[in-house]
Structure 1
Amino acid sequence: YDGATKLGDTTVTQGSITIAAKALAVGTHSLTLKYLGNGSYTASQGSVSVTVVKASSSVSGTAADITWGNAGSVTVTVTPSAATGTVELFDGATKLGEGNLTSGTTLIAIPSRALAVGTHALTLKYLGDGSHSSSQGTMSVTVVKASSSVSGTAADITWGNAGSVSVTVTPSAATGKVELYDGATKLGEGTLTGGATSIAVAARALAVGDHSLTLKYVGDGSYNASQGTVKVVVLKAPTTVSAPNVTLQWAKASSVSITVAPPAGGTVELYDGSTKLGEATLRGDGTARIALPAKSLEVGTHSLTLKYLGSGSYLPSQSTVTVTVTKGRSKVEVSVPKSVDAGDRAKIKATVDSAAGDATGPVEILVKQVGGSFKKELTRKVGDGTVVVKIRLPRSGKYVVKVKYLGDVHTLGDHVSTRLRVS
């Protein structure tokens, strides 16, 4: 008997009594033995001390890989399944969590980021209960790097200027570097802050056009590397074309000195209305010279058009230059006889020499007697650069001969005078 509770009985010949499992709680019990007697012997009673100790236990666990940044869990099993109570989970001396057993199992949550990336040997501690002793075991939990994604945006870049690419890596907790490539050529890199960075693109690192550049996030201790693309457009640079105004005389050649800024390669053309006067290839400093042949422009003021045709990196441009063509100079010479007899004709020859060599137009000739009343005026048109007249001089004396060339559309006028003696 355990108190008033009968645990079992047996005949004397058997000599032992079996106590059923779990009939006694853990601990030391003073049990009563009762001999009921028989026809020859009287009944008697005694006691016996019985100690029930806790049953042994074992604890184990399993866990799927945990992605960094996510929570995880450990599935715990305690044997025997009748064990109750609490199981605790430790990473070294750090307690990660605990769970209460139900039918010998429990689930212990692992908070996100409680474990660094890598493989961890964690300790499971079953605390025991009234019937089962405590136990301890180890298990392996692997935390793998989290995936990442990288993207970027960029404003259009004008050729000759620097630009930049704004980069975003998701999740924003990612750290480390992002590199920017054009094919196999590395253009630059940036260090992430809050999941973002800016990568500079050097001036002229990319040709004019559309470029699909590669962004490479190199990863860090918690995040895997990733790769993406970003579109960068490089636009042709604007230009200006200019030239100082030009003044030249009719029948003389000249040129127009042209400058394209910024210095660009390619061709410049010069137009008078729709008529192309010439073209030239720009030198390395962005300058060129287009010849103006003699007589290519009429006398007057001309607003000529300069056209830069552009290149692979520069936009075309257009402007005007003023070219003024002035009349050419002329020189008049006159020849007369040394002396003429009164009543004879005097041959007067005027020669007009012009820069163009093709002077036309009228020549006025005045012959006047000095101190006398005789006066003769004639107008003749230049032919082959000369005018010849014969004038009868009726009286003896001194005469003044004045020759005036009035000019033409291309040539300025001139004048000269001489004296003639009539005997």
Structure 2
Amino acid sequence: MTVKQNTAPATLSAQYNVGANCTIGGGALQTGMDYSGSLGAGYYGTKGPSLTVAKANSTTTLAPITGAKVGTATTLTATITGGTAGQTVEFYDGTTKIGSTGLNSNGTATFAWTPTTAGNHAISAKFPDTATTNGSQSAPQTVQVTQNVNSTVALAPITNAKVGQASTLTATVNPAAAGGTIEFKDGDTILGTSPVGANGTATLPWTPNAGGGHTIHAAFSGRDGVNASTTTAQVTVAEADVNSTVALAPVTGAKVGTATTLAATVAPAAVGGTIEFKDGDTVLGTSPVGADGTATLPWTPSAGGGHTLHASFSGRDGVNPSTTTGQVTVAEADVNSTVALAPVTGAKVGQATTLTATVAPAGAGGTIEFKDGDTVLGTAPVGADGTATHQWTPAAAGAHTIHAAFSGRDGVNGSTTTGQVTVAEAPVDNTNSTTTLTPVTGAKVGTATTLKATINPAGAGGTVTFKDGTTILGTATVGADGTATYQWTPTTAGAHTINADYSGHGTTNASTTHATVTVAPTGGGNPGTGGGSLGSLFGGLFSGFGS
């Protein structure tokens, strides 16, 4: 400082900051001064006032504490004024010291406090006395410490898991509430993380890429007031389903009003699943698939024309669904027929009479079976004019009920009728006849064979009707030598009963015979004779009726 003074004494004053390393408590400190000026200079090392240095004051402030939980570290922060870096700051819970730490260069100290009990805690920060500074302590702060509850997490069972097919993983936390997340893992592989909803559940879609056993983990992150938890579950994943094919069997002969069987076959074949059959968009029905992979359904079409049939396989465990279509042409419904017997007059025992039946609508096809009561007389084909005939030689007089049954033909239903015929006794003066079949050898399927019948007496005239069982093969005229022949081409192998029915003629009575003929298959050997000579034995049984 500079002082100007001419006469009066001068007063000097100075400001001085006590250093942090100043010795305190050693008594008064002696001060002095040096000066220099225009009148000279001087040193007065003991002429200054005596000084006593006191400790500096401090303040301690504790930052607000929130969210304290049992078992969770909470940061306590104290701010000190008047302290220096490195000096100790202590923290208290009530009167219990819970820890201490050093003051940093910013005048703050922090401490991580982990409460062990829930409830109210009086937390304070204390700066202890130092050699140069008076200590201080913050006002106690009441801290509410909460305690989390434990949780459990459960995985819902997973069934029918398959490679390549999405399954849903579902985990449920207890206690239930919204908040937190669940991480799903397959072994060590993280599948994804989903939030927990208000009902405590979290879901995640999972598409396995490998079959076999899988360990699924569900880890709950925890939420405010609720601790984390985890669980595991074992899941067996089946291999991916194999593809299937379904084929509709061809449908032939379908007609309006006539039941037809629909059949569909699944490959690979095994029992299980169903097949739904449809006609266009109309569902016809559903049938189970059997062990051979097939399913059938009866179908009665209600309309003619083209139909698109669908067969849809539902799939079964390990096999995917499939479908197919097929085109079916449905014919219109068969028309009904009528059959009429022509009146029979003059019928006599032992004398051939022609039975004639006529079918309407007329047309070639089908057969008519003629019967006398319950006895089958024979079967004859229906010709183009709708008629069929049969030579009948009555064996007994009296009333006979004749039946004519039409078999039906394509597009025409069968029908039947009956007629009453009165047969008179044969005249006593007629001559009896015998009919003999020539033995047949070498008969083969597909090869023409000659059937030959001989009538005695020769020259009687008339006709012979040849039959295979009750089926009429044909009718031949008896020649002047008393023989009649017919070319027969067998269609089936085995034993055949060949009948030769002589019609009788004039005053000669009818007669009949039969023989067994063995027919070999195509290319077979000589079957031998079937006993044509029986004709002479049996023919006489039907003679003597008279005319």
User: Which interval holds the TM-score relative to the shorter structure?
Assistant: 0.3 to 0.5
Structure with more strand by fraction: 1
Tell which structure's C-alpha radius of gyration is larger: 2
User: Structure 1 length normalisation: TM-score?
Assistant: 0.40
